[in-house]
């Protein structure tokens, strides 16, 4: 649990904010030097997401999506805008959201809100989103803040909406990264936090074709 590795909560958050302020506002910056994996990532995410958007009685809508930890809008641009009418973005780094306005190009006009805020302090508008996408950012939240944030996400869903987490998974326990002030949790810990937030897992998938040296990456869909 994060309580075992995060000694000072204020420091945990402020150090992460400082780290991201110094990261270049580029796709390579967003992916920690692994910009070349972006297309593999997006293509897998699209396949995962589309199973919920197909026809059926419980089909997830395509009106509005929220990109959490959005950075410059890599996921907004290539995954969410092609599938949803409008997208909102939230990120703690103002420079990234400023860059997003040019990076997204003409399609960026369909991004209605740019929220500059840490997820521990952010509340999605209730009953508003078909999909809330949370990628490579849960490590910047303590367990309690992550659970509380997921509860607020649950309230932010429209009927048949889903919350998606895509992130690194540790082999065992919780590992602290002092460089960017984040934690990496194992699958069991993440599943427990999801349950604690009152969410039900609909699907879970391991990302394939990523470099061997990085953490395993898993995608979860829940409501």
Number of domains in the chain: 1
> With contact defined as beta carbons under 8 Å apart, do 95 and 25 qualify?
yes
* Contact between 70 and 96 (Cβ < 8 Å): yes
Q: Is residue 68 within 8 Å of 24, Cβ to Cβ?
A: no
Binding site residues for S-adenosyl-L-methionine, as ranges? 69, 74, 91-93, 119-120, 135
Task: Give the range of the structural domain holding residue 135, as residue numbers without chain letter.
Answer: 2-222
Sign of the torsion formed by the C-alpha atoms of 104, 106, 110 and 111: positive
| CA-based nearest residue to 39, from 75, 67, 70 | 75
What does the pLDDT look like over 118-146, one tens digit per residue? 999 999 999 999 999 999 999 999 999 99
CA geometry: angle 76, 222, 204, nearest 5 deg = 90
Mean pLDDT, residues 160-186 taken together: 97
Instruction: Write the pLDDT tens digit of every residue in 78-87.
Output: 999 999 999 9
Could you tell me the CATH number of the domain that includes residue 16?
3.40.50.150
Does the pLDDT value for residue 178 go beyond 90?
A: yes
Q: What is the pLDDT of residue 184?
A: 97
Q: What is the pTM of this model?
A: 0.97
Q: What mean pLDDT comes out for the span 56-65?
A: 93
Evaluated on CA atoms 130, 135, 139, 140, the torsion sign reads: negative
**3 has pLDDT over 90:** no
pLDDT of residue 55: 75
* Backbone φ, ψ for residue 168 (5° rounding): -70, 145
Please enumerate, by residue number, every residue annotated as part of a binding site: 69, 74, 91-93, 119-120, 135
Write out the two tokens for 89. Answer: 């973005």
């Amino acid at each position: 649990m994060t309580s075992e590795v995060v000694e000072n909560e204020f420091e945990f958050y402020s150090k992460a904010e400082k780290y991201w302020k110094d990261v270049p506002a580029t796709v390579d910056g967003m992916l920690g030097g692994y910009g070349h994996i972006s297309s593999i990532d997006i293509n897998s995410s699209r396949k995962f997401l589309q199973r919920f958007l197909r026809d059926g009685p419980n089909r997830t809508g395509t009106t509005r999506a929220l990109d959490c930890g959005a950075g410059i809008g890599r996921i907004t641009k290539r995954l969410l805008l092609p599938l949803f009418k409008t997208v909102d973005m939230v990120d703690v780094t103002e420079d990234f959201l400023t860059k997003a306005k040019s990076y997204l190009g003409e399609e960026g006009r369909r991004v209605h809100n740019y929220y500059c805020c840490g997820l521990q302090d952010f509340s999605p508008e209730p009953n508003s989103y078909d999909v809330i996408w949370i990628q490579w950012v849960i490590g910047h939240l303590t367990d309690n803040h992550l659970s509380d944030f997921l509860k607020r996400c649950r309230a932010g869903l429209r009927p048949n909406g889903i919350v998606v987490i895509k992130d690194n998974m540790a082999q065992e326990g919780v590992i602290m990264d002092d460089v960017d002030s984040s934690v990496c949790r194992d699958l069991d810990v993440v599943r427990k936090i999801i349950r604690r937030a009152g969410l039900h897992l609909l699907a879970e998938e391991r990302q394939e074709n990523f470099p061997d040296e990085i953490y395993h990456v898993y995608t979860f869909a829940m409501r």
